[in-house]
Structure 1
Amino acid sequence: MSKFFWNTLKVSPALLGAIFAASSAYATPSVSDQKAVTVENTTEPSVKLPENTVLEEDFVSQSNQPQNNAGFDLAQQMPVVDSTDGNANSEVLEQIELYNSNEINGDPLGQVTNINQLRDVSPGDWAYEALRSLVERYNCIVGYPDGTYRGQSPTTRYEFAAGLNSCLDQIVRIIEQQGGGVSREDLETLQRLVQEFEAELATLGTRVDNLEGRVSFLEDHQFSTTTKLNGEVIFSVASAFGEDTKVDGSGEDVDDNVTLSNRVRLNLDSSFTGKDRLRVRLESGNITRFDRATGTDMARLGYDANNGNDIEINDLIYRTPVGDNLRFWIGASGFEFEDMADVYNPLLESSGTGALSRFNRRNPAVYRNGSDMGAGLNIKFSDSLGLDVAYLTSSNGSDPSDKNGLFDGTYTALAQLNLGLGEALGLGLTYAYSYYPGGEVDFSGSVGSPLAEDPFDGVAASAHRFGVQGDLKLGSKVSLGGWGGLVLAEAEAGAREGDNADIWNWEARVAFSDFGKEGAVLAFAGGQPPKATNVDGGPEDEDTSYLVEALYKFPITDNILLTPGAYVIFNPNHDDGNDEIWVGVLRTTFKF
């Protein structure tokens, strides 16, 4: 039996080519399906281990690294086909593609075990009877649940050839695994079928040859086998304006000229195991800080970055899974708690595609603590319960001098309990403890009043931080969310040692997805920026500021997002003697 089979292969090169075509066409994914690096876990819990993928949850550009799963040179094994007739081959391939595709009109392929289920095949053809016999013996034709091939016409020769490939593949597996098991009559039937459909089977060989050529080109020209390059570019047209003078009491005029500025980020994401990720981010920009133009931190843009367009390493962060329920993080630059923890503001969190104001991106009481490096863990207890813990320091963690380093300078220890309350509601409960040496105190994360930032005149201070934040989805189009935050600060040195202050903030928002266009988002958000109250031995914020923002995220293409919007600050710096400050923005974000 085995000798007869291999003699048959010698006599019929078309059969050999068809067998290889079958094993490749059904086992090798298309070029677009292969990824150079897989950096995500293979399973995702409902209480997620936060991914924070490319450029803060933005579009991900993926390199491709196709593979030849067959393990040999398919081009040398295939029958020679004249491919100069481009129109004819294009029509043939189009019809075969309809059959070979993994999914058509949303219906997955099913296994057909009886040729009578393939209603579009004519029972009067001799090939029908031959294929029926093979199908019923070897269960080798792939069809659709409703029993049709769904070609451009009923049971075309090209569709039939694609099915024959599947039978050839199945019979080869039986012979290789069992050393026989296929009758002489069935092999003779296969040889006759191969001869009858030689041209169609050869076309499949051409398809594989073309694929191999594309694979070789991509392998020779790809960026890296272990690293993906992703980019984000922001063009920002913006202006801050109000009354004639700044609200900080300097007496200077508000800088209210319209500006055009930019920010560029390049992410190099590398993986060494397929599940871990090392991110190196390069950044440059000249987007000014509007606190200097207006006299209040409350006016800052959520994406400001001004280093004179010099290129700097902004992020250097590594993460890796530890077993099934843990993920470990360590960062040496640009590492903040929101990189590893959910801030429960999915539509407005991103600096590149989220809220226009700095305040409306995330709860400053817990997420804006001056951190730049450290380590953390995501812990999954169940599908609805998780815990994030971290120890973070400022950029001075790399300085060995007094009042610096990892444990003698600014630091924050955090824990966040994540609750999945059904599919629609997510809730995060966060606690943190911070310590700041003298001269480095910033309890508000540069989004509140001067007193909320430092209520103790620059002396060393500590704080207990509390935050609750959530996001509620009302159907597929509407989401509600918000947060509340409290910082209990205490002076740790000097004449004010032991003095206390309470620093409050809150925010609420509503967003409408697919508003006017698929992928578009209309959002309104606002609240009270950090405000210092109950300050021992010093002044406190007597009045209350409110920041209100409206924006519309409109996708021009999959990679270009236009975001017009504006926000206004009432009673800036919590002083009702100050007039409103307005900020108008037109932000364009490019992703690649």
Structure 2
Amino acid sequence: MSNKTRKLFAGTSLALSATVALSSAAIAEDSQAVIDQISQYNDANSFAQVNSVFQLRDVAPSDWAFDALRNLVEKYNCIVGYPDGTFRGNRPLSRYEFAAGLNACMQQIERLIIGGGSDVDAADITRLRALVQEFEAELATLGARVDDIEGRVEFLEDNQFSTTTKLNGEVIFNLAAALSPEDKVNGSGDDTDDEVVFSNRVRLNLDTSFTGKDRLRTRLQAANMPRFDRATGVDAARLGYDSGGDNNVTVSKLWYRTPLGNKATFHVGTVGLGLDDIFDVTNPKFASSGGGALTRFGRFNPIYRGPSGAGVGLNLDFTDRVSFSAAYLTGDANDPTDKNGLFNGSYSLGAQLDFKPADRFMLSATYVNRYQKTGDVNLSGSTGSALANDFTSDNAAASSNSFGVQASWKAAEKLNIAGWVGYTDASVEDPNASGDADVLNWAVNAAISDVGGDGNVLGLIFGQTPNLIDGEFNQVDVDSNTDTSYLAELQYRYKLSDNITITPGAYVIFNPNENDNNDAVWVGTLRTTFKF
């Protein structure tokens, strides 16, 4: 073999491992292509040298190229397979990929010649020399590209933000208005705040992994979203992604999760850790605040909402079909004053059993015990009526037991149906007062995918917002309004690109605050979500 030929192959060891991974897109000039190339080369490290053609599970003796592959494997040992044990011989081949494969065989033959191997046929050498001459330009380009990529990899390693942390973000632009009624439905007599508003929410997530399987999430958030409960007088009117603060930057989440063996995951957090971060809320199409339901009520069963922020949680997989989760959360963990702290303030203690009898169906049963101190009582997580939030007249401390059943069913390839029922039994915890209450809510939703284009979703949500169905405080009935409040939401998520989604929609609350004398509350909104 000539020195010229050997020089063509020098410095291309990385390409040798990637005999089937290198594509024409991998030699593009732009930065994204370079990153893709690096990923391909990294993945190629897991390609396995094939010692027998029968190790390739997608190559059969009846294939027309079987004898050729067997010859290359048995005589020259210069064929590699994908990590899943396939060769994928029916896919198109570029000249650069062929050059990389040729390069691998040439180096193997060169080693055999240097080692004095007697199995190298003179005819094979002649044919390979002809191939080298034919693909000389591609082999030279391949070597130059590899050298260029290695230089860029070195530059990225020297200038990267972090070896352990990834940055991802979400930005929401929101155009919205309360469309009716004329007066707020809380009995104040004030006019509804019905001006059109344009607002935003920005989230930056720093996700850090120390082992490759764990995650430390630090979220920075700034927002100036309006509260439509204040604009209309009913909590059920709240957006699912509202957040105030005049765009002041805060740490809105800080938690860590890590696997414990193969079957368990442990969670711990000090800021923004909620039950919905630990439990599967069984509402896959609408749970996300940036890309799910427009309403706070529509995201998931309100029994998941309550004292939260700091605490611990555990997920345990009994089988592939059955799992169990538990969590303890409090909003007062950082307060050392009396009746606060990690164990003596308001808290949520919950458990959930998930059952997946089929790939398309999931069912979960949830129990949450809560204590909410005086001034903190909010039995429905600000998703229902005023009475459902606090049935007492002075926000007296209360304990509660909440029970929920959630289900999600992929009824067809492009149709998902989900829903829940939630019930809360609450009691006043005050030596100078007494009382109890029962709060009920339920909802069903449907999401139809690819309506009007790939990735688009048409969504409908309907349900009974948390209503006080029975209540007494200091021996006086407090459920004088016997009407039931309902919420309906219609939305259409239009996927403008992989990173931008526009969601026009509207929702209405019938009989707001459990009173059919109140006019229905309508809210229209246009949410644009950017992800990066």
Tell me the TM-score normalized by structure 1: 0.77
Aligned to 1:39: none
Tell me the equivalent position of 1:419: 355
Matched, 1:439 2:375: yes
Summarize deviations over 1:4-30 as a string: whole Å, max 9, x none.
Answer: xxxx79796337528735534349889
Deviation for aligned residue 1:163? 3.1
Q: For residues 487 and 173 of structure 1, what CA distance do their matches in structure 2 show?
A: 76
| Number of residue-to-residue matches in the alignment | 499
1:45-102: per-residue Cα shift (whole Å, max 9, x none)?
xxxxxxxxxxxxxxxxxx98948979xxxxxxxxxxxxxxxxxxxxxxxxxxxxxxxx
Q: Amino acid of the residue matched to residue 575 of structure 1? A: N
Contact conserved, 1:31 with 1:66, CA < 8 A, in 2? no
- Structure 1 residues 494 and 561: CA distance shift in structure 2, 3 A: same
In the alignment, the residues of structure 2 paired with residue 187 and residue 23 of structure 1 have an alpha-carbon distance, to the nearest angstrom, of: 23
Q: Which residue of 1 aligns with 2:419?
A: 482
Looking at structure 2, the residues matched to 207 and 161 of structure 1 have their Cα atoms a distance apart, in angstroms, of 13
8 A Cα contact 1:287 1:306, kept in partner: yes
Contact 2:256/2:269 (8 A) holds in 1: yes
User: Matches of residues 261-340 of structure 1 in structure 2 within 5 Å?
Assistant: 261-340=199-278
Distance 1:237 1:151 in 2: 50
Taking structure 2 as the reference length, the TM-score comes to 0.85
Superposed CA offset, 1:298-335 (max 9, x none): 11111101101010000001000010000000010000
CA distance in 2: counterparts of 1:418 and 1:146, whole angstroms = 39
- SS of 2:187 mapped into structure 1: coil
Kept after mapping to 1: 8 A contact 2:171/2:530: yes
Contact 1:149–1:159 (Cα < 8 Å) also in 2: no
After TM superposition, give the deviation of residue 370 of structure 1 in Å. 2.5
One-letter amino acid of the structure 2 residue matched with residue 23 of structure 1: L
SS of alignment partner, residue 212 of structure 2:
coil
Which residues of 2 match residues 80-159 of structure 1 at below 5 A?
117=65, 134-141=72-79, 150-151=92-93
Q: Aligned partners of 2:183, 2:444: CA distance in 1, in Å? A: 30
Q: Contact 1:25 / 1:208 at 8 angstroms: preserved in 2?
A: no
Q: CA deviation at 1:494?
A: 3.5
Is 1:303–1:356's contact at 8 Å kept on the other side of the alignment? yes
Alignment match, 1:14: 7
Give the whole-Å Cα distance in 2 for the aligned partners of 1:24 and 1:13.
18
Structure 2: how far apart are the matches of 1:317 and 1:173? Answer: 54
Pick closer, same or farther for the CA change 1:202–1:189 going to 2, 3 Å. farther
Q: Distance in 2 between matches of 1:146 and 1:411?
A: 56
Structure 1, unpaired ranges of 5+: 1-7, 34-62, 71-107, 120-127
Q: Is 1:501 equivalent to 2:440 in the alignment?
A: no
Aligned to 1:383: 320
Query: C-alpha offsets along residues 150-206 of structure 1, whole Å, 9 cap, x if unaligned?
Result: 447xxx7x665433223246568999xxx9694374599559725750514323212
Q: Identify the residue that residue 214 of structure 1 maps to in structure 2.
A: 152
The superposition leaves residues 527-556 of structure 1 with CA deviations (integer Å, 9 ceiling, x where unpaired) of 111111221223114211111110000011
* Conserved 8 A contact 2:423-2:440: yes
Q: Matches of 2:165 and 2:199 in 1, distance apart?
A: 30
- CA distance, structure 2, for counterparts of residue 68 and residue 562 of structure 1: 33
Is 1:520 the counterpart of 2:456 in the alignment? yes
What is the distance in 2 between the residues matched to 1:350 and 1:528? Answer: 20
What is the CA deviation profile of residues 347-369 of structure 1, one whole-angstrom value per residue up to 9, with x for unaligned ones? 1111111111111101002x111
Q: Report the 3-state secondary structure (helix = DSSP H, G, I; strand = E; otherwise coil) of the residue aligned with 2:333.
A: helix
Write out per-residue CA displacement over residues 449-485 of structure 1, whole angstroms, 9 at most, x where no aligned residue.
Answer: 1111111332221011100011111121011111000
Match of 2:128?
A: 193
Match status 1:404 vs 2:352: no
CA distance in 1, matches of 2:439, 2:70: 78
- The match for 1:548 is 488
Cα pair distance change 1:136/1:307, threshold 3 Å: same
**CA distance in 1 between partners of 2:397 and 2:422 (Å):** 22
Q: Map 1:33-52 onto structure 2 (within 5 A).
A: none
Greater RCO (Cα-Cα under 8 Å, separation 6 or more)? 1
Q: CA deviation at 1:224?
A: 1.8
Q: Helix, strand or coil: the match of 2:298?
A: helix
1:231 positional shift: 0.8
Deviation of 1:409 (Å): 0.4
Contact 2:19 2:80 in 1 (8 A): no
Partner of 1:539: 478
Distance 1:173 1:68 in 2: 26
Alignment of 1:154-233 (within 5 A): 161-168=99-106, 182-183=117-118, 185=120, 189-190=124-125, 193-194=128-129, 197=132, 199=136, 200-233=138-171
Name the SS for the 2:337 alignment partner. Answer: coil
Q: Which residue of the partner structure matches residue 523 of structure 2? A: 583
The one-character-per-residue Cα deviations of 1:472-508 (angstroms, maximum 9, x if unpaired) are: 11121011111000001011113433x2210101111
> RMSD across aligned C-alpha pairs, in angstroms?
3.3
Equivalent AA in structure 1 for residue 183 of structure 2? T
Distance 1:294 1:150 in 2: 61
* Identity across the alignment (%): 48
